[in-house]
Amino acid sequence: MEVAEHGLQIAGRSVPASSGATIDLHDPATNRPIARVASGTREDVSAAVEAARTAFDSKGWRGLDPSKRGRLLWLLGQQIRDRFDELARLESLNVGKPLREARGDIAYVYKLFEYYAGLADKIQGETIPVPGERLDYTLREPLGVTAHIAPWNYPLLLASRGIAPALAAGNTVVLKPATLTPLTSIRLAGLAVAAGFPSGVLNVVMGSGKDVGEALAAHPDVDSVTFTGSTETGKQLLRTVADRVVPTTLELGGKNPQIVLADARRDRALRGVLAGAFQNAGQMCWAGSKVLVHEDLAPTFLAALQEQMVSMRLGPGLREDVQMGPLVSKDHVARVMSAIEEGRASGGRLLAGGGRPEDPNLRDGNFVLPTLFEDLSAESRVAREEIFGPVLCSWTFRDLDDAIERANDTPYGLAAGIWTQDISKAHTIARSLQAGMVSINEFPITFPQTPFLGWKQSGLGQEQGMDAVLFYTHAKNVLVNLE
Ligand code: ADP
């Protein structure tokens, strides 16, 4: 089958890799080829960084009237709105996620660009009172060339989350999308050109993490690194950037608890727990992959959960009625299946799933059944570590303090959910959870304007919200003696 070919996006042009190398991408639902993309080299990384540096130095971006820069970001948002359906289909095809979810992702992307478009002319310093005849003020200046290394689970959304504030602050960008899911990022670069961005402001280099990702993070002319991915790779990346001491944000893994109290509105909590665990087939760092249910509610809650899980419709994301798509790749299926086996071996009771679907229509795709474990030992790897697949671990509790202790018993601290009608109790629990984001009676949800951040090994720094834009600026203090 003929598939479309896509080049690297450097200085406003589509170019082949300097080595001529390409990689084939496959539909996760069938493993048939869907596209061929250039696979860059270290030389290509250097060319992209140089293009971004030239665009930064030319002042045609950072020197623009900030409201005009904001206007261009807004126009990029508009380009995305105009191609909403095409982009959602592309994301669904490349990742395997249900179209309904991909539409949510693309809507989030244009809202990110619109939110940061509005901030472009509101990045300002302050005047600080100091003793004597002196004036003290701060400036906020763009960093320069910002590098963005994105994962495959929410490709365009998680890339745009860093790119939009970086651009708003006047930086120029090099993006490395995940090897498996570059299609919407490649499209974004073309849309930026169509929106009127100067060439070299937004560059995209595809390729492997080991070569292209590492070369980008290590490049001497890159001024910051924004990484979203696994905790293990994040730690490695931090070692790479340590040599150059550049600002770095890491958004890493999670093992995110959802606590369901006895007085929770059962059906609402059920919907949230299901969405939290199985949205994007559980392939998300903020997946609510452990649920703690009060013992009074547990029998009916877990039975309803089980019932909904076994009747969940699996299939290719592009089919409208599908509730859960395939995992991103065969390799990832192998990783998730081995975790499930490990959970079984460590004594966890399986309440649902635990294998691959028998439906012959799904045989060629990367499908794994939504899986529910009960009472895994707290030490089991599946209970503690991120599995990044459709695997939910459940426990019941009598005493709320025990539930909170179990919720916090993980190396991560990204998100947590609380389900109760007792709102003052909910706020008290929120204070004792070790997580960067807590949701009450809603999960999993976040907005461009609310902080996205992890505690413990879930990350470093903050994305989204107004503060994210500050990360992409240097503060400079200017002290003047007026005498
Ligand atoms: P996953 O591929 O499971 O999402 P990773 O953390 O391995 O998680 O990958 C996230 C992003 O980091 C991807 O774009 C990947 O190619 C890139 N990457 C992987 N290894 C490295 C590395 N050593 N240095 C820089 N980037 C890397």
CATH at residue 327: 3.40.309.10
Q: The CATH number of the domain where 122 resides is what?
A: 3.40.605.10
Marked catalytic residue, from 101, 285, 386, 393: 285
Q: Is residue 189 very low, low, confident or very high in pLDDT (cuts 50, 70, 90)?
A: very high
Please give the average per-residue pLDDT across 429-448, as a whole number. Answer: 97
Q: Are residues 271 and 380 in the same domain?
A: yes
Distance CA 279, CA 100 (A): 10
Are 383 and 376 in contact, with CB atoms under 8 Å apart?
yes
Please give the number of the atom of ligand 1 that sits closest to the Cα of 207. 16
For residue 341, being part of any structural domain is answered with yes
Catalytic site residue 285?
yes
Residue of the CA atom closest to atom 4 of ligand 1 = 151
Buried b (16+ CB within 10 A) or exposed e, 391-410: bbbbbbbeebeebbebbbeb
Mean pLDDT over 2-31 rounds to 97
Strands ordered across the beta sheet of 290-294: 349-352, 371-374, 391-397, 290-294, 257-260, 415-419, 437-440
Q: Using alpha carbons only, what angle is made at residue 85 by residues 176 and 444, rounded to the nearest 5 degrees?
A: 70
Closest atom of ligand 1 to 179 CA is 16
Do 75 and 101 have their domain in common? yes
Task: Give the residue carrying structure tokens 């001491």.
Answer: 245
Average pLDDT rounded to a whole number, residues 65-76: 98
In the reported structure, the alpha carbon of residue 175 is separated from the centroid of ligand 1 by a whole-number distance in angstroms of 12
332 and 467 part of one domain: no
Rounded mean pLDDT of 174-202?
A: 98
3-state secondary structure 213-272: HHHHHHCCCCCEEEEECCHHHHHHHHHHHHCCCCCEEEECCCCCEEEECCCCCHHHHHHH
Atom of ligand 1 nearest to the CA of 150: 14
Please give the distance, rounded to the nearest whole angstrom, from the Cα atom of residue 418 to the centre of ligand 1: 31
Q: Which atom of ligand 1 is nearest to the CA of 233?
A: 6
Q: What is the pLDDT of residues 261-294, one digit of tens each?
A: 999 999 999 999 999 999 999 999 999 999 999 9
Ligand 1-lining residues (CB < 6 angstroms): 149-152, 176, 178-179, 209-210, 213-214, 217, 229-230, 233, 236-237
Whether 1 has a pLDDT exceeding 80, the answer reads no
Residue 117 lies in a domain: yes
Same domain, 219 and 289: no
Sheet holding 172-176, edge to edge: 13-15, 8-10, 202-204, 172-176, 145-149, 224-228, 248-251, 459-460
- How many angstroms separate the alpha carbon of residue 111 from the centre of ligand 1? 26
pLDDT tens digits along 409-418: 999 999 999 9
Provide the mean pLDDT of the chain: 97
Based on the domain organization, do 202 and 289 belong to the same domain?
no
In this structure, the answer to whether residues 145 and 123 fall within a common structural domain is: yes
Same domain flag for 343 and 245 = no
Residue 416 sits in the same domain as residue 288: yes
How large is the average pLDDT for residues 41-60? 98
What is d(CA 150, CA 147) in angstroms, rounded to the nearest whole number? 10
CA dihedral 23, 26, 28, 30 (to 10 degrees): -150
Residues 306-314: what's their mean pLDDT?
97
Considering the chain, what percentage of its residues have pLDDT values greater than 70? 100
Residue with CA nearest ligand 1 atom 11 = 151
232-237: average pLDDT: 97
Query: Do 337 and 466 fall into the same domain?
Result: no
Question: How many angstroms does the Cα of residue 300 sit away from the middle of ligand 1?
Answer: 41
From 251, 386, 393, 463, the catalytic residue: 251
Amino acid at position 147, single letter: A
Whether residue 80 has pLDDT greater than 80: yes
**Residue 254 in contact with residue 458, Cβ under 8 Å?**
yes
Nearest CA owner, ligand 1 atom 13: 178
Which tokens is 115 given?
């939110």
Predicted local confidence at residue 40, as pLDDT: 98
The CA 413 to ligand 1 mean position distance, Å, reads 20
> Whose C-alpha lies nearest to ligand 1, atom 20?
209
Report the distance separating Cα 157 and Cα 289, nearest Å: 21
Does residue 172 belong to any structural domain of this protein?
Answer: yes
Judge whether 453 lies within some domain: no
Q: Is residue 185 included in any domain, yes or no?
A: yes
One domain, residues 443 and 466: no
| Residue 210 and residue 359 in one domain | no
Q: What is the pLDDT of residue 256?
A: 98
**For strand 349-352 and strand 248-251, is the pairing parallel, antiparallel, or unpaired?**
unpaired
Q: Report how far ligand 1's centroid is from the alpha carbon of 299 (Å).
A: 41
- Residue with CA at minimum distance from ligand 1 atom 2: 151
- Pairing type for strands 33-38 and 22-26 reads antiparallel
Ligand 1 closest atom vs CA 332: 3
CA 268 / ligand 1 centre spacing (Å): 35
Residue 307: predicted pLDDT:
97
Mutate which of 158, 233, 280, 283 for ligand 1 pocket (most atoms within 8 A of beta carbon): 233
- Alpha carbon nearest to ligand 1 atom 27, residue: 209
Q: How many domains does the chain have?
A: 2
The whole-number pLDDT of residue 458 equals 98
> 213 C-alpha to center of ligand 1: Å?
7
Considering all CA atoms of the chain, what is the largest pairwise distance in Å, rounded to the nearest integer? 84
- Domain residue limits at 397: 257-448
- Residue ID of nearest Cα to ligand 1 atom 16: 209
181: confidence class by pLDDT, cuts 50, 70, 90: very high
Q: Phi, psi (5° rounding) for residue 246? A: -105, 150
Query: Residue 444's pLDDT is what?
Result: 86
**According to the model, what pLDDT value does residue 2 have?**
76
Q: Does 39 fall in a domain?
A: yes
Residue 328's contacts (CB-CB under 8 Å, 6 or more residues apart) are 28, 95, 96, 152, 153, 180, 181, 283, 366
325 lies in a domain? yes
- Claim to verify: residue 265 and residue 246 sit in the same structural domain: no
Q: In the prediction, which pLDDT does 59 show?
A: 92
Nearest atom, ligand 1, residue 234 CA: 6
Residue 144 lies in a domain: yes
pLDDT tens string 340-364: 999 999 999 999 999 999 999 999 9
